[in-house]
A and B are shown apart, each in its own frame.
Chain A
Amino acid sequence: MISFSQVTKRYAGGLEALRGITLTIENGEMVFITGHSGAGKSTLLKIAAAIERPSSGSVIVNGQNIAALRPRAVPFLRRKFGLVFQDQKLLFDRTAFDNVMLPLAITGFERREAARRVRAALDKVGLLAKEQSFPVTLSGGEQQRLAIARAIVHRPAILVADEPTGNLDTAHALELGELFRSFNQVGVTVIIATHDEAFAARLKPRLVLLREGKLAA
């Protein structure tokens, strides 16, 4: 369970990205955060995943208050999340296989078991045939699916995606939506920030609308 209470985020320079957000996301829920760009969607996700700290208010993830977390404990909290970044952040100097291997290398998985899991994740997103390809040789949709494979390979309880359909056509966006739904169906909490309303409407998730840093609905 993730619960925000009176969360405000102020950046240096006075920009207030979030203002008094109170929001609870239950385990196993699928939530879409929508709103115009600049409404604070990304900031909300970053605070949930302990990438940024709130200026005030508290964020509790599975009983841990993120704002009060010691810096040494932050990496271990982040491992509970699967993150799909807006710009994917794939590593272009290594193969698809090695990209997906990264989270398992970080947690120190035994090699054979890790390789099995990497292949399972690649299979899940339909890229098993391309495990030895470098990201540059993949299409935009394939790169996005590779980023998703990396986000789910360590079987996180919470999957967070920022604008996953950013530059995909509708058909690919729908495919991706189905993929997220399938994770949610096996119990993963899925939180997606998007401004793509068609994509959001189709999956019929819980919708959270942000407007200028405040909850609108």
Chain B
Amino acid sequence: MRAWLWHHLDALRMTAARFARTPVATLLNVGVIGIALALPTGLYVALVNLQGFAHSLVSDPQLSVFLALDASRAEAGRIGARLRQHPGVREARYVPRDQALKELKASTGLADVVESLPQNPLPDAFVVLPRDAQPQALEALRDEVSRWPKVTHVQLDAAWARRLEAGLRLARLAAGLLATLFAFALVAVTFNTIRLQILTRREEIEVSKLIGATDPFIRRPFLYYGALQGLAGGVAAWAIVWAGVKLLNGALSELTQLYATRIELQHLGPEDSLSLLAFSAGLGWFGSWLSVSQHLARIELGRELPNPLI
């Protein structure tokens, strides 16, 4: 047990020493892996933020029912009653055209423009809260109500949120594809680094084998190297995304102050951060495992050739 632990500690120590011996190459490798991982990670962070933003905007789906401009009060009252009796409607709030104009004046800072209008361009309207928030039910309700007399237009207010949701799904797929591609790149970079290391340390491997090193013993430092390099790349990616979020937040706060709101981008949560590091270390390990299996087998074959040296 102690020997086993000692083996592992020793392999780890040697790996760290090897990192230190070639600082530039190590930094470049870690940089490449970091950038490769930062792209999908950054996209993921952007998605998570957009999603949170979308959720905060869309509470309950609602329908806006706009009446014809020439609809009378009585007709509006009839439509209101019909809406309230409808089994698919939970609540219907009447917004008279004068009140709508007032709200428009108050909320958008367009008072001057509104003031200059010769007459009120807005129709009477109802804001309808449906009983069933399923998209199909909403659409059926919209289609039904829009066929009623004196109703010119029914707008599904959650429609844009659903479009956003669909867009986000697409972006998530893109992030997944990107992550797969860059994961492959990470494995390839590690594979090559380890291949070069095996070539330069071929003698050491041969001698070690000759004097009784087991395959796991020979593999171990390479696997550690791959995993550590991957881990360092993961840390670099995390730092890149962190710096990006920090920079964007600085710019965003200026922008959002002008609109008197406050939006702040969130960085990766602790769980996602740990996943990123575990993922990158795992891929590094995998890349070096592939490389070591390939190339050590070849050194093993070399032993079978007639060889004048013992």
Contact B310 A86 (CB under 8 A): yes
B306 CB within 8 Å of chain A: yes
Contact A106 B208 (CB under 8 A): yes
Nearest CB of chain B from residue A164's CB, rounded to whole Å: 11
Could you say which of B207, B211, B217, B306 contacts A12, with CB atoms under 8 Å apart?
B306
Can you give 21 A-B contacts (C-beta < 8 A)? A13-B306, A45-B310, A72-B214, A75-B213, A77-B212, A78-B211, A81-B212, A83-B310, A85-B309, A87-B309, A91-B207, A93-B204, A102-B208, A102-B211, A103-B211, A105-B10, A106-B211, A106-B213, A108-B3, A110-B2, A110-B6
Nearest CB of chain A from residue B291's CB, rounded to whole Å: 21
The CA-CA distance from A93 to B212 in the complex, in Å, is 20
A137 CB within 8 Å of chain B: no
Contacts of A72 in B (CB 8 A): 214
A89 with B207, Cβ < 8 A, contacts A11-B306, A108-B7, A110-B6 known: yes
Size class of the B contact interface (CB-based, 8 Å): 20 to 34
The CA-CA distance from A103 to B217 in the complex, in Å, is 12
A46 CB within 8 Å of chain B: yes
Contact B310 A15 (CB under 8 A): no
B111 CB within 8 Å of chain A: no
Nearest CB of chain B from residue A107's CB, rounded to whole Å: 7
Could you say which of B10, B210, B214, B306 contacts A89, with CB atoms under 8 Å apart?
B210
The CA-CA distance from A205 to B147 in the complex, in Å, is 114
Contacts of A105 in B (CB 8 A): 10
Nearest CB of chain B from residue A180's CB, rounded to whole Å: 16
A-B contact count (CB 8 A): 77
Contact B310 A162 (CB under 8 A): yes
Nearest CB of chain A from residue B222's CB, rounded to whole Å: 15
Contacts of B304 in A (CB 8 A): 52
Nearest CB of chain B from residue A163's CB, rounded to whole Å: 9
Q: Using an 8 Å CB-CB cutoff, how does the interface string of B247-274 with A read, 1 for contact, 0 for none?
A: 0000000000000000000000000000
Nearest CB of chain A from residue B220's CB, rounded to whole Å: 11
Contacts of A17 in B (CB 8 A): 306
Contacts of B309 in A (CB 8 A): 42, 85-87, 89, 162
* CB contact list, B211-250 vs A, under 8 A: 211-215, 217
The CA-CA distance from A30 to B182 in the complex, in Å, is 61
B308 CB within 8 Å of chain A: yes
Contact A106 B308 (CB under 8 A): no
Could you say which of B7, B203, B305, B310 contacts A46, with CB atoms under 8 Å apart?
B310
Q: Using an 8 Å CB-CB cutoff, how does the interface string of A13-48 with B read, 1 for contact, 0 for none?
A: 101010000000000000000000000001001100
* CB contact list, B271-310 vs A, under 8 A: 303-306, 308-310
Contact B204 A51 (CB under 8 A): no
The CA-CA distance from A36 to B305 in the complex, in Å, is 21
B206 CB within 8 Å of chain A: yes
Contacts of A150 in B (CB 8 A): 211
Contact A106 B6 (CB under 8 A): no
The CA-CA distance from A86 to B210 in the complex, in Å, is 13
Could you say which of A11, A15, A83 contacts B211, with CB atoms under 8 Å apart?
A83
Contact B214 A108 (CB under 8 A): no
A111 CB within 8 Å of chain B: yes
Q: Pick from B2, B3, B10, B210 the residue with the most CB of A within 10 Å.
A: B210
The CA-CA distance from A142 to B127 in the complex, in Å, is 96
A15 with B6, Cβ < 8 A, contacts A91-B203, A102-B207 known: no
Contact B306 A78 (CB under 8 A): no
Chain A residue nearest to B9 (CB atoms) is A111
Nearest CB of chain B from residue A73's CB, rounded to whole Å: 10
Top 3 closest A-B pairs, CB basis?
A108-B3, A78-B212, A79-B212
Q: Using an 8 Å CB-CB cutoff, how does the interface string of A102-142 with B read, 1 for contact, 0 for none?
A: 11011111110000000000000000000000000000000
Chain B residue nearest to A80 (CB atoms) is B212
Chain A residue nearest to B3 (CB atoms) is A108
Contact A106 B212 (CB under 8 A): yes
The CA-CA distance from A79 to B215 in the complex, in Å, is 14
Contacts of B308 in A (CB 8 A): 42, 86
